[in-house]
Homo-oligomer: A and B are copies of this chain.
Amino acid sequence: MIRIAIDCMGGDHGLPVTIPAALNFRDHHPDVHLLLVGLQDQIEAQLASARSALGRDRLEIVAATEVVAMDDPVEVALRRKKDSSMRVAATLVKDGRADACISAGNTGAWMAISRYVLKTLDGIDRPAISTALPNQKGGVTYMLDLGANVDCTAQHLLQFAIMGTAMVAAIEQRQKPTVGLLNIGEEVIKGNDIVKQAAELLRASPLNFTGNVEGNDIYTGVVDVVVCDGFVGNVVLKASEGLAKMLGSFIKEEFKRSPLTLLMGAVAKPVLGRFRNRVDHRRYNGAALLGLRGVVIKSHGSADAYAFECALKRARGAVANDMLSLTTQVVAQINQSLQTPAESTLTRVDAGANAQSSHGDRQ
């Protein structure tokens, strides 16, 4: 049974989104057990108004008496609301009562709380938010950080590259995932000082660093992992969502111009529907907070029930794929090779993601 702790209070909409999503998700996944965290009365009320044949099966309410507001400063969320639904959800993971936790609430607070409660992996200073974006090759590109860290050093960017590599190695079972550094040009001379320093660190590392990539490369799929600071990543992600939405509405507009184009639209409807579904950004909802000693998922604050359910699926998938222990292993491996002479590190990384035994041999 996969146990997921849900902060039911978070997000722009809170319970009217999280509870219906949780119920639907539970109904369709017989292997999950959900811990609904939040204000008990309100959760009860929402559950009472919802319909599901399965009743309270594989559902459990875990009471929390406080709620982190979307505009609470991190310090308030962390220091003054010690019984918040976020804090309780993360603690359930720490105590082993849940395998993963999820919130659609205030990103900064969710990051700070999960980091405080669960701690980061050895060699990782700050967790990073990562998600998989569809690319032109029909695969996905992992991008991080997407908003957890707004002021990054070169060392942080290197750590993001390590975490991204570890995640792709773990989830996609790829031996040496390629890493690109997001920049304003492919040439080495481009970019600000931090990005230039990060490129040097990456070149000296055992990671499969292919160099700078530009904004369009996120979608061409030239690399497996795109690394950037959280400010840039967040803006790019949201701009992409905004653009996709706008293009969708442009298509609709064009088909609505005249009776004739409406007819053409009716003919093409099945194809357009498949296209719309394929690019629906709600399907990509649910980003992982990497670098923590536990599976922590962040849903978009504005998620509707469908999007929140997609994020729940992602939490389930991370647990089912054993993402945490695989990622932890690979991070430890890379960090260790960073501390050994260059020749041996290269051999070691060639051995790749699941070379845990050879890693042991060398100690």
Binding site for B on A (CB under 8 A): 70-71, 73, 107-108, 134-136, 147, 150-151, 182-185, 187, 189-193, 195, 214-220, 228, 230-232, 234-247, 249-251, 254-255, 257, 261, 264-265, 267-268, 270-272, 274-275, 278-279
Contacts and interface: CB of A to CB of B under 8 A. Distances in A.
A200 to B, nearest CB: 17
Nearest to A184: B234
A236 B215 contact: yes
Given A231-B184, A239-B236, A245 B216 contact: yes
Contacts of A70: 187
A74 to B, nearest CB: 8
A261 B271 contact: yes
A230 B241 CA distance: 21
Copies of this protein chain in the complex: 2
Given A151-B193, A192-B150, A265-B271, A243 B246 contact: no
Across the A-B interface, the 7 shortest Cβ-Cβ residue pairs: A216-B242, A215-B238, A215-B239, A219-B242, A268-B268, A184-B234, A215-B235
B247 A244 contact: yes
B189 A71 contact: yes
Given A264-B267, A267-B267, 18 more contacts: A108-B190, A136-B249, A150-B191, A151-B193, A182-B235, A184-B234, A191-B231, A214-B235, A215-B234, A215-B242, A220-B246, A236-B236, A244-B247, A250-B275, A250-B279, A254-B278, A261-B270, A261-B271
A12 to B, nearest CB: 11
7 contacts: A184-B234, A218-B242, A239-B239, A239-B240, A247-B279, A257-B271, A264-B270
A184 B271 contact: no
Contacts of A185: 107
Given A189-B71, A231-B232, A275-B254, A238 B264 contact: no
A260 to B, nearest CB: 9
B265 A239 contact: no
A184 B147 contact: yes
Contact of A254 (B136, B182, B237, B271): B271
Contacts of A216: 238-239, 241-242, 245
Contacts of A251: 275
A243 B240 contact: yes
A279 B261 CA distance: 18
Contact of A219 (B150, B189, B245, B275): B245
A150 B270 contact: no
A219 B243 contact: yes
Given A73-B189, A235-B182, A267-B264, A244 B243 contact: yes
Contacts of A243: 218-219, 240, 243-244
Contacts of A237: 215
B136 A246 contact: yes
B238 A235 contact: no
